[in-house]
């Protein structure tokens, strides 16, 4: 199979670019494809219509599903989907508006009020899935066998019934559902608003959390240290609040897990990801066993390259001596990513370009905006939106490639409809990480300067370590924290100890961690928003390493077409079925080792290359 060559990429300009120019004309999304504003009459009408339909749906069908014929039940599922799609449009709009500016109190009130209204409406729909799960397997199969219309919904029914053993009584389920807005969701909102309104003092500057964290990749070590200490101080001042949020949410999860008889804290997430606990254990075990040959080995080399006896936590993402720290203008980043996609599949690139031709991306930097990046699918009748904080660095280009992969995946899967378009988190990361890999390989293959090529390779290793090693360390931290929370409330000092324990284990002896790093767990949003999400990144990275290897060696005919079909499947197929056309099996323990071997191979290549430019050791 032909490699991606430089002809597919724009010629990079080597002129320096100042920060103001890098941030100029960054896109801001336009949410009017959902609603014109919080007071849009269409939004109020959608809520009113859905509430009326939901009440009628409950009155007509509650307690009667067992007696419905297959075609009638299929029509009921279609009606249920239509109502949820309308509610999904409303909640997507409120959530995106809040993410765009959480400092605006009106956005927070609108977000909370919307959640409360949708919860009230959807309480009339709750009976439907509970009652479906009370049907015996043979009775449901009999209905499906007699109705082609109902057979279309088999994947959704299959995934719904995964939670059958953990279902509570209708009354208990309704109580948990209605209390969500005043319970877990309220604590999540408190976390989000706290982060969004925080200021980090770095020298004489007052920065947002996102801007301060971005300083940790500055070339000047003194600037990195100042930013790191500013972050430590800002979160340290609020550590009791973040500890309270963490303790409350962990206890809330423990209570519900015990009622639902989940064997351990991560089991619900694994069920949601349609993956067995044992498969996750195999992944985590393989990564932990590989810490020495991956992160420990790489960071020992990085310390030498930086001329340091020991790395501090603010050196983890430091640029390497060879690294090109030129800021990449947004238009160049866009074309670089789209060209990389096009070299793989013109169809993939064409879908991706729609995000830039239309106002579907918010990449601008501003106070109150959510930190990090995400792709929100909204609903199939609309389109996804991407949020980034684009600082113009090479990692930001890879983040763009990553989130665009999500967006393209969400568009392709949208044909499956609201209920079956969403993929488990483990598979949701496939297209994003694959998009990153396409962009990286295109840039690497186009680079002819050995020093810059080596820097690109080292940067990719760091990204992969952040995706695999660091996320599994996060998963280990969550596991330790939730296990310990079951013995009682955890003091913030103990949370810091657990955090430092996994950092030492995962990053290795090249680091000398200062005590102030003990509070850095507090800014990780996944711990609050989606407990035990983080291993999905490692799952996706190792899966993509194996998948991309198949693509590069040309062993699978029509790989691109099969890849697009995999994305179009949405949530209708499990990982075994999706990977079978590529000759891969994630249930095979050797599968994970094969993915980790790719990272180790990159490190091998870096070790083999002589470096005559290593600076003398310095702590400056």
How many angstroms separate the CA atoms of 60 and 79, rounded?
12
Q: Are strands 205-207 and 361-362 parallel, antiparallel or unpaired?
A: unpaired
Let me know if 324 is exposed, middle or buried by CB neighbors in 10 A (0-12, 13-18, 19+): middle
The alpha helices in 345-424, defined as continuous H runs, are: 346-357, 394-413
As a residue count, the chain comes to 620
Asked if the model's pLDDT at residue 610 lies above 60, the reply is: no
Assigned token pair, 162: 């995964």
Backbone angles phi, psi at 614, to 5 degrees: -70, 125
**Kind and range of the H or E run holding 202:** strand 200-202
Instruction: Give me the residue spans of the domains in the chain.
Output: 34-182
| Burial per residue of 149-162, b for 16 or more beta-carbon CB atoms within 10 angstroms, e otherwise | ebebbebbbebbbe
* CATH code reported for the domain at 34-182: 1.20.140.70
pTM metric for this prediction:
0.81
What's the rounded mean pLDDT across residues 295-309?
Answer: 96
pLDDT, tens digit, 9 for 90 and up, residues 206-226: 999 989 999 999 999 999 999
Q: How many beta carbons lie within 10 A of that of residue 41, not counting itself?
A: 9
What's the rounded mean pLDDT across residues 554-573?
Answer: 95
pLDDT, tens digit, 9 for 90 and up, residues 185-209: 999 999 999 999 999 999 999 999 9
pLDDT, tens digit, 9 for 90 and up, residues 417-469: 999 999 887 888 889 999 999 999 998 888 888 888 888 899 899 999 999 99
What confidence score (pLDDT) does residue 620 get? 36
pLDDT band (50, 70, 90) for residue 279: confident
Asked if the model's pLDDT at residue 22 lies above 60, the reply is: no
What's the rounded mean pLDDT across residues 572-582?
Answer: 90
How many angstroms separate the CA atoms of 563 and 619, rounded?
48
Looking at every residue in the chain, the average pLDDT score rounds to: 91
Asked if the model's pLDDT at residue 9 lies above 90, the reply is: no
In 372-483 the beta strands, taken as DSSP E runs, fall at: 374-376, 385-387
Asked if the model's pLDDT at residue 35 lies above 80, the reply is: yes
Backbone angles phi, psi at 44, to 5 degrees: -60, -40
pLDDT, tens digit, 9 for 90 and up, residues 314-353: 999 998 887 777 899 999 999 999 999 999 999 999 999 9
What confidence score (pLDDT) does residue 24 get? 59
294 contacts 603 by C-beta, under 8 angstroms? yes
What confidence score (pLDDT) does residue 17 get? 44
């Amino acid at each position: 199979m032909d490699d991606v060559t430089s002809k597919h990429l724009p010629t990079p300009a080597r002129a320096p670019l100042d920060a103001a120019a890098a941030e100029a004309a960054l896109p801001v999304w336009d949410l009017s494809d959902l609603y014109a504003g919080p007071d849009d009459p269409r939004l109020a009408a959608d809520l009113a219509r859905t509430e009326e339909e939901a009440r009628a749906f409950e009155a007509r069908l509650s307690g009667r599903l067992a007696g419905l014929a297959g075609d009638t039940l299929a029509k009921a599922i279609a009606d249920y989907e239509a109502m949820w799609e309308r509610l999904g449009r409303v909640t997507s709009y409120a959530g995106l508006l809040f993410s765009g500016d959480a400092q605006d109190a009106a956005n927070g009130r609108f977000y909370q009020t919307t959640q409360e209204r949708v919860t009230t409406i959807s309480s009339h729909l709750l009976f439907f899935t509970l009652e479906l799960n009370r049907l015996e397997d043979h009775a449901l199969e009999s209905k499906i066998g007699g109705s082609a219309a109902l057979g279309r919904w088999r994947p959704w029914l299959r995934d719904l019934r995964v939670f059958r053993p953990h279902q509570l009584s209708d009354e208990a389920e309704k109580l948990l559902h209605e209390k969500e807005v005043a319970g877990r969701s309220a604590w999540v909102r408190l976390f989000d608003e706290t982060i969004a309104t925080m200021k980090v003092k770095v020298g004489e500057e007052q920065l947002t959390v996102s801007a301060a964290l971005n300083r940790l990749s500055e070339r000047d070590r003194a600037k990195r240290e100042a930013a790191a200490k500013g972050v430590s101080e800002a979160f340290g001042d609020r550590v009791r609040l973040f500890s309270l949020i963490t303790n409350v949410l962990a206890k809330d999860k423990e209570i519900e897990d015990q009622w639902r008889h989940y064997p351990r804290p991560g089991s619900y997430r694994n069920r949601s990801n349609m993956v067995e606990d044992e498969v996750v254990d195999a992944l985590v075990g393989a990564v932990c066993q590989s810490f020495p040959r991956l992160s420990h080995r790489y960071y020992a080399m990085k310390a030498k390259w930086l001329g340091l006896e020991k790395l501090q936590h603010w050196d983890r993402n430091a640029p390497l001596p060879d690294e090109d720290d030129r800021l990449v203008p947004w238009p160049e980043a866009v074309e670089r990513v789209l060209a990389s996609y096009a070299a793989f599949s013109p169809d993939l690139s064409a879908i991706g370009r729609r995000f830039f031709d239309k106002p579907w991306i918010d990449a601008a930097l501003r106070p109150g905006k959510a930190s990090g990046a995400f792709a929100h699918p909204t609903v199939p009748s609309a389109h996804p939106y991407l949020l980034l904080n684009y600082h113009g660095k090479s990692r930001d280009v890879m983040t763009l490639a990553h989130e665009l992969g999500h967006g393209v995946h969400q568009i392709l899967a949208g044909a499956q409809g609201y209920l079956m378009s969403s993929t488990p988190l483990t598979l949701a990361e496939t297209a994003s990480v694959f998009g990153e890999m396409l962009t990286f390989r295109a840039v690497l293959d186009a680079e002819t300067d050995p020093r810059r090529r080596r820097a690109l390779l080292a940067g990719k290793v760091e990204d992969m370590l952040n995706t695999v090693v660091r996320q599994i360390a996060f998963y280990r931290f969550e596991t330790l924290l939730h296990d310990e929370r079951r013995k009682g409330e955890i003091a913030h000092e103990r949370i810091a100890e657990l955090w430092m324990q996994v950092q030492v284990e995962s990053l290795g002896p090249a680091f000398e961690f200062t005590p102030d790093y003990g509070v850095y767990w507090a800014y990780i949003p996944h711990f609050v928003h989606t407990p035990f999400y983080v291993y999905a990144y490692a799952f996706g990275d190792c899966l993509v390493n194996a998948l991309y290897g198949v693509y590069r060696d040309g062993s699978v005919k029509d790989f691109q077409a099969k890849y697009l079909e995999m994305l179009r499947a949405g949530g209708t197929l499990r990982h075994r079925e999706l990977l079978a056309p590529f000759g891969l099996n994630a249930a095979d323990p050797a599968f994970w080792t094969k993915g980790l071997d790719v990272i180790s191979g990159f490190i091998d290549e870096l070790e083999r290359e002589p470096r005559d430019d290593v600076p003398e050791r310095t702590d400056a």
